[in-house]
Structure 1
Amino acid sequence: MTAEIPSRRRWLSLLVVSLGVAMIIVDATIVNVAVPAVITDLGATSSDAQWIQESYTLVFAALLLVAGRTADQVGRRRLFMAGVAVFTLASIGCALAPTPPLLITGRLVQGIGGAMILPTSLSLLNATFTGRERGIAFAVWGSTIGGTAALGPLLGGWLTTDLSWRWAFGVNVPLGALLLVGAGLLLTESREPRTGHGNDWAGAVLSVVTMAGLVFGLIQGRSYGWFERTGTVDVAGISWTARLSPVPFGFALAAIGLVVFILVERRRNAAGRPVLLDLSLFAIPSFRNGNLVAGVVSLGEFGLLFSLPLWLQNVRGYSAFETGLALLPLAAGSFLASGLAVPLTAARGPIFAVRAGIVLEIAGVVGAGLVAAPDTAWWQITPMLFVYGIGVGLATAQITGVVLADVPVAMSGQGSGTQSTTRQLGSALGIAVLGTVLFSTTAGQLTTALDSDGVAESQRSAVVSAVEDSAGAAIPGLAADPRTAALAGDAAQALSTATRYTAFTAAGFLLLGLLASARLTRAARHTPDTAAAPEGLPR
């Protein structure tokens, strides 16, 4: 029980868990700034580069639910340590990879390790802390996610510029070793008391198939085409040549998988057999409504992190390292929020903290959109990022607390995995929508500007395609070439306008999340130690 764990050990265990989360979150963003160097060094194609970035996310999201349930059964500390070991070994493979296919394979294995760590970290905190201390622990956990997501580009820019892109993966090795020692000494094992009842292999397979199909479609829709194939589909030497894009097949697979998954889980639950996800969890209002808010908020929560680096580097001319420095206020605000959350939650409750965080996120995103222009100075964007970071820290931590507030500790792995999966799906959908807004607006604005300038249709199409396909990376090249320098200003203005519209779209998603938070009730103020469980749920 939590009361038997010495106070000092509990807080040191929070440090271990937070470092584990930081490692996997940083890795999701650190690679973004290292990809250009990878392309040059390994001779990777554009398709290879895309999969180097996205294979991690695909596997990570697909396995979250399975990992959460497995942690409940085999032991949360055991699975956390196994995840750290897998992630560390995969990082060594990535750092030493001689070819793009091997690097993609390493990223896939990293996704497996990351999926083992994230939901397990939450269930460890849920089992270790109670009452007010649990709120503090969740606040630190949430701020770690927001802060380290912003630190990733800074660390990646420094390592890639001063050392090598391989160190973007190699940096995980000493951290992983430290985490394994710390976890072995400080984390306390916990698991669901009902063991030995078998496994839900059908649910596990259906869960992975459903999540993989859905996340694949959301990630690749813009690149491969939402219905008809619009781009080259070539992954690790495997090509898709059909006229119809593979994306609709991914969505169809996800839809069928979801229906069958629900039917299988309901039937197994009714028969008293073990299930991957006990659907009666959704009878808990705080769990059901909290997941709804978490998913909607995730649609827009990291909108700035998606579009701002492209704008800062390709329009403002920042290096990868300077871009990371520019995003530091976001990290600072997120970490500050962990301190603000404690008195705010104590005085007004976690639901108020969630809503306050979303309001601050909206303010930061809208402010950044309003000032985005080709000549925007760093000091104009910094306050917006700081406010946004505080909002991310508050909302991310406290919505997690709300979702898990009334979930029995014995089922915290399932609850954590579901919450993490909801957020990952929301993020994937948000990036798909925001990416479409960013690039379609850039193309539309640039086409209109070049047409007004009287640029010939052939040159106009070539310039628009170059800017859109490169996500703006072609703009510095246009400016450096005397023959196209006059067009670079239009391209910079087009990407700035698109960044503004993307920010406003993200703010719209966040506003929907704020409205959805009206479904949260004061019942979420309870903790699993005092709240009553729905019928059939063990304590």
Structure 2
Amino acid sequence: MRKWGPLIAVCLGTFMLLLDVTVVTVALPDMATALDASLTDLQWVIDIYALVLAALLLGAGAAADVLGPRRMYVVGTVLFAAASLGCGLATGPASLIAMRGAQGLGAAAMFATALSLLGAEYEGRDRSFALGVWGAVSGAAAALGPVVGGVLTQGLDWRWIYLVNLPVSVAAIWLTLRVVRPSKPQTGRRIDWAGTAAFALFTGAATFGVVRAGVAGWASATTAATFGVAAVALAAFIAVERRVAQPLIDLSLFAQPPFLAVIAAGVAYNATAFGVLPYTQIWLQTVQGMSPMQGGLAVLPLPATAFVVSAVAGRLLHGTPHRLVIGIGLLLIGGGTLGQAVLTPGSGWTALVAGLTVAGVGVGLVSPGLGGAALASVPLRNAGMAGGAVNAFRQLGYAFGVAGFGTIVAARMASSLREAEVAAPAEAAHTLAGGGAGALRPSVTDEVVHTAFASGLNFAAAVAGVLGLLAGLAVLRWLRPAARPAAQVGSSSPVALEHHVERP
């Protein structure tokens, strides 16, 4: 237990925080009914977790250096557990969204310190083994999310997708305090509070603007003001990072095309592969009449294929240029997502299998390659910073994808409902996209409901697919390894080893 206890403790926390990214999608229809939640509410239930995780990930890494990784990990796990309890006891959409945000804060503290703890506890072959197990557990969390969510929601209640985190958190905290050695804080290290706050404001305002645009319209004063706040916050973040002694990220990295290509790949990867799936899940359950467990199994071809391909590709493609692995992977994700834009009013879940499987192959290629690509795209001294930035922007890609594609789905549905001469089509579209198909059926025929939802999902999947294809072409064109001094090539420093492993 003393030898592998730290690995178990870190893997327990990582499994929980990554499971909670995807586990919620299967429970959305039940949440909408129980809490009387709208489409906008559901978007925020998903997005606020990924947003807070992304916005605070870099700052949490700096805080871990100040407080010590073990202490930061324990504090993060305690907060995550308390917020999970709050989610399970939520009485309305507002309280659930607030607690999901608190979950994201705890998850940022846990995720930012996981690899540091493993790097400090293990060396040589043990370290390689530990990082490999951590990567496999990360992949398993992504693959099992929809299934675990379906089992808990159908067998118990949607609240248990959060309450189940409590015993796992207790075990992770107990193990960490028992077997992980205390780490000394770094002297002279400071937290970039101003940069963290500005980046959080930018991400929150930008996402709120996209979500709000689906209700108020893109040309509304509210939407314009929100995007204006986001622009000011981004300008403030850039100004702070240029002047602070210890920035969250060195802005000069963004002047390097390879690094920009990796960042773009991370954003497009999470947005394209996963941004439409919450609405697919609502379609499966509220329109197709599937149970939560059946809905989770229906989309399993994507994460299951990704998990298998990721495990196999790690060995077979060793030494293959990141440009090819990630670029081809994104092209497959884009093509597979386009392959999901084939729904008709009479389609069932089987229409999605081929597209989900092809996208899953792409995810299996891209997921393990992004960490190594981030490391190779910058000088070795910036490896840790680059790895953290890619993780943060991947979460932003998911948050922006869910918000943007939700707006697209609702807008396309409204157009279809308007053609069917449904009263108040915009309001009806938001009700339908938010899981309220049953509320429309007394006045709207099943054929109209099926046609509208298929139209919305098809258009969103088409847009996502094109985004994936463009990102794949950009990676093939611009991703090249960064030039390094000969002394740094082949370095086996802890930072380099840590960031070769990325979560799927």
Task: Please report the TM-score for the alignment, with normalisation by the length of structure 2.
Answer: 0.82
Query: What residue in structure 2 maps to residue 357 of structure 1?
Result: 329
Q: Distance in 2 between matches of 1:49 and 1:505?
A: 21
Question: In the aligned structure 2, how far is the partner of 1:202 from the partner of 1:251?
Answer: 20
- Deviation readout 1:73-131 (Å, 9 max, x if unpaired): 43334323322221012112222345554434322211211222234335556778899
**Does the Cα contact within 8 Å between 1:217 and 1:251 map onto a contact in 2?**
yes
Q: Does 1:490 align with 2:448?
A: yes
Name the structure 2 match of 1:453. none
Sort the Cα spacing of 1:464 and 1:274 in 2 relative to 1 into closer, same or farther, 3 A: closer
Residue identity matched to 2:372: G
Report the counterpart of residue 30 of structure 1 in structure 2. 23
Aligned-pair CA distance for 1:322: 1.0
Residue of structure 1 equivalent to 2:366: 395
Counterpart in 1 of 2:265?
Answer: 293
CA distance in 1, matches of 2:133, 2:340: 26
Cα displacement string for residues 448-483 of structure 1 (whole angstroms, at most 9, x for unaligned residues): 3x2xxxxxx5xx22467424432174445555x4x6
Larger displacement relative to structure 2 (508-517 or 338-347): 338-347
2:201 corresponds in structure 1 to: 209
Q: Alpha-carbon deviations, 1:357-403, whole Å to 9, x = none?
A: 22331332222223x23333544433432332232132122112211
Residues 1:426 and 2:397 aligned together: yes
Asked if the contact 2:38/2:430 (under 8 Å) is kept, the reply is no
Q: Deviations over 1:277-304 (max 9, x none)?
A: 3334446665443223222333312144
Q: What is the rounded CA distance, in whole Å, between the counterparts of 1:527 and 1:438 in structure 2?
A: 51
Provide closer, same or farther for how the CA distance between residues 469 and 530 of structure 1 changes in structure 2, counting only shifts above 3 A: same
Cα deviation 1:10-50 (Å, max 9, x = unaligned): xx756654443331232233334435544555566776655
Residue 267 (structure 1) aligned with residue 243 (structure 2): yes
Question: Please, which moves more after superposition, 149-158 or 138-147?
Answer: 138-147
> Which residue matches 2:52?
59
Counterparts of residues 343-422 of structure 1 (less than 5 Å): 343-370=315-342, 372-405=343-376, 414-422=385-393
Give the Cα separation in 2 of the matches to 1:346 and 1:75: 34
For residues 130 and 470 of structure 2, the distance between their equivalents in structure 1, rounded to whole angstroms, comes to 27
Is 2:99 the partner of 1:106?
yes
2:229 is matched with which residue?
A: 253
Question: CA 1:531 to 1:278, structure 2 compared with 1: closer, same or farther past 3 Å?
Answer: farther
Q: Tell whether the 8 Å contact from 2:72 to 2:110 is kept in structure 1 after alignment.
A: yes
Aligned residue among 514, 522, 533 for 2:472: 514
Match among 159, 163, 168 for residue 156 of structure 2: 163
Compared CA separation, residues 384 and 410, structure 1 to 2 (3 A): same
Q: How far apart, CA to CA, are the structure 2 residues paired with 1:525 and 1:262?
A: 27
Contact 1:144 1:334 in 2 (8 A): no
User: Aligned partners of 1:396, 1:359: CA distance in 2, in Å?
Assistant: 14
Check if 1:461 corresponds to 2:423.
Answer: yes
1:13 and 1:298 mapped to 2: Cα distance? 29
Counterparts in 2 of 1:165 and 1:56: CA distance versus 1, 3 Å: same
- Asked if the contact 1:72/1:410 (under 8 Å) is kept, the reply is no
**Which SS does the other structure have where 1:346 is aligned?**
coil
RMSD: 3.8
Letter in 2 for 1:414: M
Relative to structure 1, is the Cα distance of residues 384 and 148 closer, same or farther in structure 2, using a 3 angstrom cutoff?
Answer: farther
The normalised TM-score by structure 1 is 0.78
Counterpart secondary structure, 2:489? coil
1:236 aligns to what?
Answer: none
Instruction: Determine the C-alpha separation between the residues in 2 that align with 1:528 and 1:175.
Output: 44
Matched, 1:222 2:214: yes
Q: For structure 1, which segment, 101-110 or 496-505, has the greater mean C-alpha deviation from structure 2 after superposition?
A: 101-110
Distance 1:74 1:519, change over 3 A: farther
Deviations 1:411-447 (A, max 9, x none): 6653333212212222233333322332222222343
Cα shift readout 1:218-248 (whole Å, capped 9, x = no counterpart): 34332344342xxxxxxxxxxxxxxx32x33
* Pair 376,89 (structure 1): closer, same or farther in 2 beyond 3 Å: same
How far apart are the structure 1 equivalents of 2:32 and 2:40?
10
> Closer, same or farther in 2 for the Cα pair 1:525/1:87, shift >3 Å?
farther
Contact preservation (8 Å) 1:151, 1:327? no
Per-residue displacement from partner, 1:477-497 (whole Å, max 9, x unpaired)? 555x4x64xx32133123213
Counterpart code for 1:441: R
The alpha-carbon distance between structure 1 residues 287 and 375, as it changes in their structure 2 partners (threshold 3 A), is: same
Aligned to 1:454: none
**Structure 2: 5+ residue runs without aligned partners?**
492-504
Q: Which sits farther off after the overlay, 114-123 or 418-427?
A: 114-123
Please say if residues 357 and 395 of structure 1, whose CA atoms lie closer than 8 Å, have aligned partners that are also in contact.
Answer: yes
Amino acid at match of 1:471: A
Map of 1:21 onto structure 2: 14
What is the CA-CA distance between 1:276 and the residue it aligns to? 2.9
Q: Deviations over 1:319-344 (max 9, x none)?
A: 22210111222221121123122223
Q: Taking structure 1 as reference, are residues 374 and 116 closer, same or farther at Cα in structure 2, changes over 3 Å only?
A: same
Distance 1:505 1:138, change over 3 A: farther
Shift of 1:509: 0.6
CA distance in 2, matches of 1:390, 1:525: 32
Q: How many residue pairs get matched?
A: 490
Equivalent position amino acid for 1:220 in 2: R
**Match for 1:329 among 301, 304, 313?**
301
Structure 1 residues 378, 218: CA separation in 2 closer, same or farther (over 3 Å shift)?
closer
Larger radius of gyration: 1
C-alpha distance in 1 between matches for 2:167 and 2:392: 28
Given that residues 43 and 406 in structure 2 are in contact (C-alpha distance below 8 angstroms), is that contact kept between their aligned partners in structure 1? no
Question: Residues 114-167 of structure 1: CA distance to partner in whole angstroms, max 9, x if unpaired?
Answer: 222234335556778899999988787667656534533332232222212221
- What SS class does the counterpart of residue 340 from structure 2 fall into? helix
* 1:121 has 2:114 as partner: yes
